[in-house]
Amino acid sequence: GAVVSQHPSRVICKSGTSVKIECRSLDFQATTMFWYRQFPKQSLMLMATSNEGSKATYEQGVEKDKFLINHASLTLSTLTVTSAHPEDSSFYICSARDGSIAQETQYFGPGTRLLVL
């Protein structure tokens, strides 16, 4: 079945540093990848939609200069949290859509837990 990996699974960083999170589709080509954020006991919040080879589409209220997304290949998208602050501490989850099938199923990665000190 469709497998999506994320790396790292957990990261602790100091305030002001940048953190890069990788999302990979392991056994399919993902024409579209999505980045979500989830705070404890809250809903999934879509941050941006990323299409291979083009600029990401950000949801309202998400700062594109702070959350840099690159989708350079059909199997890899990266999210960079620039100048991270404690309020950016959250659970970041990517998902990927298999471009070879008509159904628009999203497969989620295991998530990355970010803690900014």
Partner 1 sequence: QKEVEQNSGPLSVPEGAIASLNCTYSDRVSQSFFWYRQYSGKSPELIMSIYSNGDKEDGRFTAQLNKASQYVSLLIRDSQPSDSATYLCAVNVANAGKSTFGDGTTLTVKP
Q: Measured from the CB atom, is 46 or 76 closer to partner 1? A: 46
CB of 95 to partner 1, least distance (A): 8
CB of 5 to partner 1, least distance (A): 11
SS3 label, residue 30: strand
Give the type of residue at 28.
Answer: F
CA distance 47 to 37: 7
Q: Which stretch binds partner 1 (CB under 8 A): 13-21, 64-72, 74-82, 107-115?
A: 107-115
35 binds partner 1 (CB under 8 A): no
Query: In the set 3, 12, 26, 44, which binds partner 1 (CB under 8 A)?
Result: 44
DSSP state of 53: T
CB 22 within 8 A of CB 76: yes
